[in-house]
Structure 1
């Protein structure tokens, strides 16, 4: 079966399952990436990815490595489904007479997919980062890891109390639901889309690099246009394309992480937009700061997209739909 013959419901299921499996496997590395990117010069809590993971387990337990995973597992299904299905849609739309797409058109399709996914990616990343970084702030301030006692920039006093331990019990812990509620109450839907510009700066170039690179690399072992490549080759192609694209856009990812971090540690600066963030990072930390977490990000994205492509092209969605009454998913 060619990719163009796969139904839209199957594509969405494939993308969703791929996202869940991938996130479950690599989330601890993603947590380390976020904490390393948010560290400032002279205030390092972690020396490396392994140091971060070891200290996280020691201070927060094994499940401390999965802080924020619930947000990702909840929203990664629509995110990956939109990303993969949108790329297929744009590729099909841009193709003519069944001819292979040019690299430029493949890049256009990837651009469209990247622009579509930020609808889900931005709020998902926004909430996930707060939870992932709470342990770093707690370690920096030497307080229980369940509460991040740090000031918030650009938010109300109400939201600040979600992160600040008061003198009177009970101590309020950080949760995605509480953060989302306070942001919606104080800033409206705009609060959940803080860092949208930086997310577009990261995800659109990522998709422009990733999808054409994957398509051309995967095609090397494709017997014919109507047949799929071996599943192991799709995995390798996904890993190579994913890690390459991840490292290429890592500077944008650092900017996005900094802008979306509401809580700040002692003496950590705030930013007024993308340009201000880039300027302050260059001035205070140097160009090398834009490569923080690049290794972690490559290790996250490589298996994540390798698994995603295997699940997507193996066609798990079609197998599931074979056991679902047609009336449940047909329009």
Structure 2
């Protein structure tokens, strides 16, 4: 008897692509969700970086955290949260959206899976764009987080991120919003070259070792990515923080910060605050990618009606 089965019935249904605008939206949302969890570590890291330790004793992460908690309570550990959320709404929206967009172009026109160099190149482009877009919020964030260590008479006492942005323009000038733009962009390029490229490659590696698409794969790849990113970006993050928080033009640029800190405080001071930075960047990397993957899968399956869950990056 002839087979009456319709060959079209077993053919896989075409998968609808996620709109580019939604890729940017999901990237920003993932970054904002992650920031809510790791903000205290970012505050501690910033306080440690802006404090000079030349000739004095260096406070540990725990000592800084205890000091903040003693003086300001739990709210002190979330100082600048509004600026952190705005930063992610600009920075992560741009960088993750652009990286997803470039990945899609590469898969469609070059090869299904990007090479290491291709991933690094896309990370540099996405990170540079995201860092430039997010610089004003970054300046406000650094100042709000560092305010508590200043004498009461010298504190800026910004009410929230929007008050900070308005006062910076009014009291200084528009260009002050882009103070530290060069080291911020350089850090963004290094962070995203390392973070996004290594995440993509670690996913491919772990997948080839038998770890299937899902949360365990996302966590494993993002943990490795977060560690590598911490080591690579810490000195540039130090320079960025010092420049954005300075009041009297203490530094002329990124290289000047790195040289002065290394000479006056020791080379290892370039990694000052590394523990809270890792506890901030590591979990933030993990949470950002996990949120992004889950948001992407939810949108793909429940909004677009696709059969396959797919992958966010």
In the alignment of these two chains, the number of paired residues is 288
**Aligned in 2, Cα 1:43/1:99: closer, same or farther, shift over 3 Å?**
same
Q: Which residue among 19, 22, 29 is the counterpart of 2:31?
A: 19
Q: Which residue among 39, 49, 73 is the counterpart of 2:51?
A: 39
Is 2:97 the counterpart of 1:85? yes
**Distance of 1:187 and 1:203 partners within structure 2:** 25
CA deviations over 1:223-248 (Å, ceiling 9, x no partner): 89xx9721122022112202211221
Structure 2: which 5+ residue stretches go unaligned? 1-12, 305-313
CA deviations over 1:149-175 (Å, ceiling 9, x no partner): 33xxxxxxxxxxx73xxxxxxxxx333
Q: 1:131 — aligned with what? A: 144
Which of structure 1's runs of 4+ aligned residues deviate more than 4 A? 1-4, 42-46
Q: 1:201-216 residue pairs with structure 2 within 5 A?
A: 201-216=186-201
Q: 1:219 — aligned with what? A: 204
Shift of 1:211: 1.5
Q: 1:217-256 residue pairs with structure 2 within 5 A?
A: 217-222=202-207, 229-256=213-240
**Distance of 2:170 and 2:35 partners within structure 1:** 30
Structure 1: which 5+ residue stretches go unaligned? 139-146, 151-161, 164-172, 324-331
Partner SS state of residue 145, structure 2: helix
CA RMSD, 1 decimal: 2.9
* Larger of the two Rg values belongs to structure: 2
**Aligned in 2, Cα 1:249/1:111: closer, same or farther, shift over 3 Å?**
same
Q: 1:86-235 residue pairs with structure 2 within 5 A?
A: 86-95=98-107, 96-138=109-151, 147=152, 149-150=153-154, 163=156, 173-175=157-159, 176-222=161-207, 229-235=213-219
**Distance of 2:197 and 2:131 partners within structure 1:** 19
**Aligned in 2, Cα 1:228/1:4: closer, same or farther, shift over 3 Å?**
farther
Is 2:264 the counterpart of 1:287? no
Q: 1:294-313 residue pairs with structure 2 within 5 A?
A: 294-313=274-293
Q: Which residue among 277, 294, 299 is the counterpart of 1:318?
A: 299
CA deviations over 1:176-222 (Å, ceiling 9, x no partner): 44432232135433110000011122110111111221111112343
